[in-house]
Structure 1
Amino acid sequence: MPIVLKKLLAWGLVVFLIYFVAFRPDGAAQLVRTIGAGLMAIAQGISDFLTHLMS
């Protein structure tokens, strides 16, 4: 993928995120909560796996 296209996509994502937070703050907060909960579930799963691996 050309560098110009990557930069354009990155800037597009930044603009979209600013727009989303500015005009839909409740939706943005819910999205962050959902992503955080998913990351916590993954971390807990890895932790459980390592705990059972060591016992």
Structure 2
Amino acid sequence: MHPKVKAILIWALVIFAVYAIITSPDKAAGILEGIWDVIVGAFRSIGQFFNSLLD
């Protein structure tokens, strides 16, 4: 991907995120909380997998 196109897409994503947070902070917080729960759950699952390998 061309570097300028990539930069434009990143800026568009950042601007959209700021807009979403300003217009609906409760909804944005809920989305971030959901993403965080998925990440934490994935790390827990990976940890349980390696623990089961060691048992």
TM-score where L is the length of structure 1: 0.95
Provide structure 1 residue ranges, at least 5 long, that are not aligned to the other structure.
Answer: none
- State the number of aligned residues: 55
Q: Which residue of 2 aligns with 1:9?
A: 9
Give the Cα–Cα distance (whole angstroms) in 2 for the partners of residues 54 and 16 of structure 1.
45
What is the identity percentage for the equivalent residue pairs of Structure 1 and Structure 2?
29
Give the Cα–Cα distance (whole angstroms) in 1 for the partners of residues 36 and 3 of structure 2.
30
Equivalences for 1:33-48 in 2 at 5 Å?
33-48=33-48
Moved over 2 A (4+): none
Structure 1, residues 26-53: CA drift from partner, whole Å, max 9, x if none? 1100010100110011011001001001
Give the Cα–Cα distance (whole angstroms) in 2 for the partners of residues 20 and 3 of structure 1.
26
TM-score where L is the length of structure 2: 0.95
Q: CA RMSD in A?
A: 0.5
